[in-house]
Amino acid sequence: MEVITWARIIHVLAVVIWIGGVAMVTMVIIPAVKKLNSKEDKIDTFERIEGKFANIAKVATILTALSGFYILHEMNAWNRYLDPRFWWIHAMTIIWLIFTVILFILEPLLLHRLFRKYTQRNPEKTFRIMHRAHWVLLILSFITIIGATAGSHGLYFF
Ligand code: HEM
């Protein structure tokens, strides 16, 4: 089996673990945590679960990018960045960039502190905003997955 096929397997597996985890947090964990009674329980439970997933997501984002750029290089397909028909290549890169900035920069430097501060002040509002942000990223990721799977198999939509 060729190396590029292994890269595709790693790419899809990493995306499944990463975006699947985001789906689990958005559709199951945040709604469950919202229902907990005390602020302290909400903060502790959410931080413990999301903190553990953040480490898994970091590894998955690195593997996704390494395999993705390797496939692009092997296919000699960098010029796809210049063709709007390949909007899904741009979408994959942008989604990866957004999550990378959140996971490696914003979360440790800023979001962690803001989350604690605003959950103490107004837990309902903080969780509502955070839940919405998770849905936005999840829906953009779903659109990207649809575009990338179709596009990789010759269906470009535009
Ligand atoms: C730096 C970021 C990324 C790069 C450079 C990249 C690159 C690639 C390349 C070159 C392909 C193969 C295209 C083809 O065969 O014509 C691919 C496939 C794919 N990528 Fe990405 N990707 C990245 C991130 C992502 C992300 C964030 C997602 C999901 C949200 C994603 C989901 C997929 C899917 C579902 C496929 C289709 C696999 C298949 O059906 O064969 N990728 N990617």
Mean pLDDT of all residues in 82-91: 98
Ligand 1 pocket test, candidate residues 10, 16, 64, 138, most atoms within 8 A of CB: 64
Structural domain of 90: 3-152
Say yes or no: CB of residue 68 within 6 Å of ligand 1: yes
pLDDT(65) > 90? yes
* Residue 81 DSSP label: G
Q: Domain for residue 158, yes or no?
A: no
74 within some domain:
yes
Whether residue 157 is contained in a domain is answered as: no
Quick one: pLDDT at residue 1? Answer: 86
Nearest to 134 by CA among 25, 21, 15: 25
**Interhelix angle 87-101/39-74, nearest 10 degrees:** 140
Is residue 121 one of the residues assigned to a domain? Answer: yes
How many domains does the chain divide into? 1
